[in-house]
Structure 1
Amino acid sequence: MVTIIVIGAGVVGLSSAVSIQRALPGVKVKVVADRFYDQTTSIGAAGIFIPTTRDIPGVPIELLRRWCETSWSAYSQMATSDLASTTGHTVSHGYFLFRTKMKEIPLYASMVYSFHEMLPEELTRLGVYENFRFGYEITTIITNMRKYMTWLMTQFTANGGEVERRSIRRLSELCGQCDIVVNCSGLGSQQLCGDKLLHPVRGQLIKVKAPWVRDWVFTDTMAQIFPSDDFTVIGGVKDKDNRSMTPDPSVRQGILDRCLRFWPALTGAKVMGDWVGLRPMRVPVRLEKEALRLPEGILNVVHNYGHGFNGVVLSWGTAVEATEMVKDLISKIPPSSTGRMSRICVIGAGVVGLSTGINIQKLLPNVSVQIIADRFEEETTSIGAGGLFRPNAGHTKGHPEDVARKWANETWKFYSAMATSDMSCETGHSVSSGYIFSREEIVNPIYESIVFSCRQMSTSELAGLGITQYKYGYHITTVLTEMRKYMPWLMNKFKENGGKVEKRKIEDLSELYGQYDVVVNCAGLGSRELLGDQEIHPVRGHLIRVIAPWIKQWVFTDDDTYFITNGDSLVLGGVRQKGNFSLQIDQRDRAGILERCYKLWPALQGAKIVDEWVGLRPTRYPLRLERETLNLQQGEMKIVHNYGHGGSGVTLSWGTAVEAAQLVKDTITGTLSAKM
């Protein structure tokens, strides 16, 4: 079993430990710390969710947004559930007041329940306009840390987590005791890691009894009022590099004077006590993997510390990201640690199967990958594809457009890199310009923002080309893939990476039980028989290959009349015949294709026909890309499905292969954790 030690029992450490347990239920997680609960800095935090970029410098805004949104999602679910009284999360209304106007709308404005920029008359009615000319009225969440820390620890131990009170002075002390260390030691990382970017920022708060104060107030002068369940916290100070843990009477008086001056309603509040804590501040927050080379060996560490004033706000977001790093490290644990190398089987050797096999090899270099198929290269449907990169939302029905766009983008990155490199001739990718003609205007097609160039043609341009039957035209520079080159290149790449190949028809998935850790199904149309999937069906295609060296550009139309430059030849098409399983050449289809192409582009006449091809596009709505656990008579089998690309097999193959490889990795991570 994989063992993970989390150093630190503050809100970041406990959140990380619980997140790891949820994502990896098969691993053993232990929290080691020298301080727990009341002794942690986290216990004294005000717990208000208003993250500001000013207080979290050095972190890219989109990364910071992701962390905050992840935390907000978790906290807001708890604050509006029946767990709220147990976890300590409360929906709370209040004001953020400041003397000078902020330059930009704050990060949290789009996350919190409500956000309103206050008018001068509103500030005047509150009685604060004399001191604060600007403000926001906000409904957000306040976390009672005494409740939340207790709940986190209860969750952790209920999930089988172990706890040990111990001071770790050097990370080398943990060599041999665990597989991965997650360092959430906060300020302790000054000694533990020798981190000179980390420093304390001392805070001092006062707990008062003021049940009549219900709204929170936060100001840019560090005057703060935060009502909680059973008391109100007022503060505060930011005293850099002051390590004193003793309440300072002068600071206490200054806090009381400032808060009472701008919020007189606090008058009469009964002081219950003081709290002092040292916020672990680092610019930027450290969230990264490190392989420490120690005399005792290599120790894999995930660092997650330095959150400063925003420990509560960022804790769940960075915990989830730290968990992903742990999963990645587990997937790369050497085979000797698990007893054997993980084995993956890919069913299918079309462009989707080969691309998936290679991407698994790239992502998981320590696994063994084998492709099993009954047809290879010239026998596959992929070999006959025209290879025009033209992602079409109509081919990915059932998936949101942003998902299809993501797959297309991923493929484009790879294809365009090949087409503009010295490997272009070898891989079969080339930069190519051409036209799309349509009777209807094509609005915001997926490819518009992806390809090298895309512009709508004028009426005079269409007339100049002799195009009269189509009202709209688009000139596009994209990538063409010559499949007769690309398919052999993929196979060679797969074998060079250590991949194995077997020619065999899999009649039933149970044939593979016990031989592989994960089976990746890229069987295309074969999934009808293999899985009984009646949603996948053939869309028959017919292409005619001609020699026409005087034709340099491709043309595609909305009625499936097209010709595509393809190496030293040209392919003419086509047909889309749903449910037709015939692989025989149909003379009527042939005549129809030639007639339509000659009418569209008379310059094609005289081209010599050298070959014809018929193939069955494996079409499914939606394309199937997902994990599945099959319950067979022998036991469970882990499957990743990646099939049903239809007429977009070449266009989407690399993008869906990247995602399928990630699904395999996620599956392997869980499997290894459970077995170890």
Structure 2
Amino acid sequence: MASDVIVVGGGVIGLTTAVVLAEGSAGRVRVTVWSRDAAPETTSAVAGGLWWPYRVEPREQVGAWALETLRALTELAGTAPEAGVRMVAGTQAGITVADLGPWAAQVPGLRPAAGPGELPGGVASGLRARVPLVDMPAYLAYLRDRLQAAGGSVVRRGIASLDEAGDAAPLVVNCTGLGARELVGDADVRPVQGQLVVVENPGVEEWFVAADPASADTVYALPQPYGLVLGGTAREGVWDTAPDPATAEAIVARCARVHPALADARVLAHRVGLRPARSRVRLEGERLPGGAWCVHNYGHGGAGVTVSWGCAREAAALAARRLP
């Protein structure tokens, strides 16, 4: 066999899992990623890239995954500028520490906003934090290069069954996100559509988020090197990936109430992605019908970047039990 492990899925979850497997084996395990789409075409490439647990379950496990990822991304921000990870201060509006899980106590510097001076007009309360903000196109390229440096590879290939991967390697890791709905017949996987607008940044240096998990409309502004990312939407069960002009106008208008200069900002791009939501992340192993062992790692909702390293390391630990 050409590979010891086939990781199916080339988004942030698949690439991170492949990196952990390849580096953890010190070159002894041959890891190949099969990806239907090139990295710039994946859902991960569309993500805003802010570290923060959002629309992901189960809460009791998400905190540990997120904190492990926070540590990994914080380290990259200080040691690997090519990764596209920066530590950026910002505000989560309309929530308190009590609204979060126990994980919040371990986020360095997380605190309540100190009155109107730290909050935009019209925002009564919020939390302040300095957390990783990831330039996703740069980060995905970094993960691919890091995988290749560890002896792994990425192949453009779509599959109709996990047994196709099982025929090529004794161990398969399923990181197909929304694709798992069809690939493994998991009806619990569903899309949560997110639309965003990229505009020319008029000078916004901090991130801002106001996201009610129960609402289909959110407000966020994320300063990236390529522009200011404005959002957004969270529409359950919507499969459409075409940007809607009226929705884009509404997104800009909502963000302009926080930063008035955005009302006249030049639009650079429109993007739509489908978050792979599930009632809970599926992270477990099973025997495939063809005999290969499979570890599933999908269903991360709106927090793929946020839990990527924690979930990858747990998936790799499950896989290691089946490796030579």
TM-score by length of 2: 0.92
Report the structure number with the largest CA radius of gyration.
Answer: 1
- Alignment counterpart, residue 48 of structure 2, candidates 364, 370, 386: 386
Shift of the alpha carbon at 1:475? 1.6
Say if 1:540 and 1:616, in contact at 8 Å, map to a contact too. Answer: yes
What are the superposed Cα offsets for residues 215-254 of structure 1, whole Å, 9 maximum, x if unpaired?
xxxxxxxxxxxxxxxxxxxxxxxxxxxxxxxxxxxxxxxx
Aligned counterparts, 1:95-134, within 5 A: none
Q: Aligned partner of 2:47: which letter?
A: A
- Alignment counterpart, residue 177 of structure 2, candidates 524, 530, 535: 524
- Tell me, yes or no, if structure 1 residue 538 matches structure 2 residue 199: no
Say if 2:202 and 2:261, in contact at 8 Å, map to a contact too. Answer: no
Q: Which residue of 2 aligns with 1:601?
A: 259
* Distance in 2 of aligned mates of 1:359 and 1:518: 15
Shift of the alpha carbon at 1:497? 1.5
* Distance in 2 of aligned mates of 1:427 and 1:383: 14
Aligned pair in 2 of structure 1 residues 604, 342: CA closer, same or farther (>3 Å)?
A: closer
* Distance in 2 of aligned mates of 1:601 and 1:500: 43
Aligned pair in 2 of structure 1 residues 629, 588: CA closer, same or farther (>3 Å)?
A: same
- Alignment counterpart, residue 269 of structure 2, candidates 611, 630, 648: 611
* Distance in 2 of aligned mates of 1:661 and 1:524: 17
- Alignment counterpart, residue 306 of structure 2, candidates 651, 654, 657: 651
- Alignment counterpart, residue 500 of structure 1, candidates 135, 149, 153: 153
Would you say how many aligned residue pairs link Structure 1 and Structure 2?
317
Aligned pair in 2 of structure 1 residues 600, 489: CA closer, same or farther (>3 Å)?
A: same
Q: Aligned partner of 1:623: which letter?
A: V
CA RMSD, 1 decimal = 1.8
Aligned pair in 2 of structure 1 residues 341, 384: CA closer, same or farther (>3 Å)?
A: closer
Shift of the alpha carbon at 1:515? 2.0
Consecutive aligned runs of 4 or more in structure 1 exceeding 3 Å deviation = none
Shift of the alpha carbon at 1:604? 2.1
Q: Aligned partner of 1:662: which letter?
A: A
- Alignment counterpart, residue 427 of structure 1, candidates 83, 108, 112: 83
Q: Which residue of 2 aligns with 1:375?
A: 37
* Distance in 2 of aligned mates of 1:520 and 1:416: 26
Say if 1:389 and 1:478, in contact at 8 Å, map to a contact too. Answer: yes
What are the superposed Cα offsets for residues 359-396 of structure 1, whole Å, 9 maximum, x if unpaired?
0012223111111111021110101111111124xx33
Say if 1:412 and 1:450, in contact at 8 Å, map to a contact too. Answer: no
Aligned counterparts, 1:396-545, within 5 A: 396-397=56-57, 399-401=58-60, 403-421=61-79, 423-424=80-81, 426-438=82-94, 441-443=96-98, 445-446=100-101, 448-461=104-117, 465-468=119-122, 470-545=123-198
* Distance in 2 of aligned mates of 1:419 and 1:389: 12
* Distance in 2 of aligned mates of 1:540 and 1:486: 22
Q: Which residue of 2 aligns with 1:639?
A: 294
What are the superposed Cα offsets for residues 555-612 of structure 1, whole Å, 9 maximum, x if unpaired?
0013421110112411000000111100111112111101111122213233211111
* Distance in 2 of aligned mates of 1:346 and 1:455: 39
Unpaired runs of 5+ residues, structure 2, are 213-217
441-450 vs 350-359, greater mean Cα deviation: 441-450
- Alignment counterpart, residue 356 of structure 1, candidates 12, 17, 40: 17
Aligned counterparts, 1:95-494, within 5 A: 343-365=4-26, 366-392=28-54, 395-397=55-57, 399-401=58-60, 403-421=61-79, 423-424=80-81, 426-438=82-94, 441-443=96-98, 445-446=100-101, 448-461=104-117, 465-468=119-122, 470-494=123-147
TM-score by length of 1: 0.45
* Distance in 2 of aligned mates of 1:429 and 1:474: 21
SS in 1 for 2:52: coil
Q: Which residue of 2 aligns with 1:288?
A: none
Q: Which residue of 2 aligns with 1:576?
A: 234
What are the superposed Cα offsets for residues 281-322 of structure 1, whole Å, 9 maximum, x if unpaired?
xxxxxxxxxxxxxxxxxxxxxxxxxxxxxxxxxxxxxxxxxx
What are the superposed Cα offsets for residues 323-381 of structure 1, whole Å, 9 maximum, x if unpaired?
xxxxxxxxxxxxxxxxx887100000000000000000122231111111110211101
Say if 1:364 and 1:665, in contact at 8 Å, map to a contact too. Answer: no
Unpaired runs of 5+ residues, structure 1, are 1-339
